[in-house]
Structure 1
Amino acid sequence: MTSKLLLQAIGKYVLGLLLFGVLLFVPAGTAFYPNGWLLMAVLFIPMLIAGIILIFKNPSLLKKRLNAKEEEKEQKSVVVCSGVMFLAAFIVAGLNFRFQWFLLPNVAVIVGTVFFLLAYAMYAEVLKENTYLSRTVEVQENQKVIDTGLYGIVRHPMYSATLVLFLSMGIILDSLFSFGILLFYIPIIAKRMKNEEAVLEEGLEGYKEYKSKVKYKVIPYIW
Structure 2
Amino acid sequence: MLGFAAYLLLTPLVLFLAGGEAAWLAAWVYFVLAIVAVIGSRLIALKVSPEMLVERSRFGEAQGVPTWDRLLGSIVALAGPLATLVVAGLDHRFRWPPHFTVTTQVAGGVVLALAYTLSTWAFLSNRFFSAVVRIQAERGHQVVRSGPYAIVRHPAYAGGILAMLVTPLMLDAAWSIVPAACVVAAMVARTALEDRMLQDRLQGYREYCTSVRFRLIPGVW
TM-score, normalised with respect to structure 1? 0.87
Aligned to 2:124: 128
One-letter amino acid matched to 1:198: R
Aligned to 1:75: 69
Please say if 1:43 is aligned against 2:43.
no
From 201, 205, 208, the equivalent of 2:206 is 208
Aligned to 1:85: 80
Please say if 1:19 is aligned against 2:14.
no
Identical-pair percentage: 26
- Aligned partner of residue 25 in structure 1, secondary structure: helix
Q: How far apart are 1:114 and its partner, in Å?
A: 0.8
Alignment partners' CA distance in 2, 1:51 and 1:154: 23
Q: What is the 5 A alignment of 1:159-170?
A: 159-170=157-168
- Aligned partner of residue 174 in structure 1, secondary structure: coil
Tell me: CA distance 1:150–1:55, structure 2 relative to 1, closer, same or farther (3 Å): closer
Alignment partners' CA distance in 2, 1:62 and 1:101: 40
Alignment partners' CA distance in 2, 1:124 and 1:207: 22
From 178, 190, 194, the equivalent of 2:192 is 194
Alignment partners' CA distance in 2, 1:87 and 1:128: 25
Q: How far apart are 1:168 and its partner, in Å?
A: 1.9
Alignment partners' CA distance in 1, 2:79 and 2:146: 35
Alignment partners' CA distance in 2, 1:112 and 1:151: 25
Q: How far apart are 1:200 and its partner, in Å?
A: 1.3
User: What runs of 5+ residues in structure 2 fail to find an aligned partner?
Assistant: none
| Mapped contact 2:16–2:89 kept (Cα < 8 A) | yes
From 165, 172, 175, the equivalent of 1:174 is 172
- Aligned partner of residue 153 in structure 2, secondary structure: coil
Q: How far apart are 1:152 and its partner, in Å?
A: 2.2
One-letter amino acid matched to 2:194: E
One-letter amino acid matched to 1:76: R
Aligned to 1:54: 45
User: What runs of 5+ residues in structure 1 fail to find an aligned partner?
Assistant: 1-7
Alignment partners' CA distance in 2, 1:51 and 1:149: 18
Q: How far apart are 1:26 and its partner, in Å?
A: 1.3
- Aligned partner of residue 27 in structure 1, secondary structure: helix
Q: How far apart are 1:87 and its partner, in Å?
A: 2.9
| Mapped contact 2:214–2:220 kept (Cα < 8 A) | yes
One-letter amino acid matched to 1:173: L
Aligned to 1:4: none
Please say if 1:139 is aligned against 2:135.
yes
| Mapped contact 1:38–1:172 kept (Cα < 8 A) | no
| Mapped contact 1:67–1:136 kept (Cα < 8 A) | no
How many residues in Structure 1 have an aligned counterpart in Structure 2? 214
Aligned to 1:116: 112
| Mapped contact 1:93–1:177 kept (Cα < 8 A) | yes
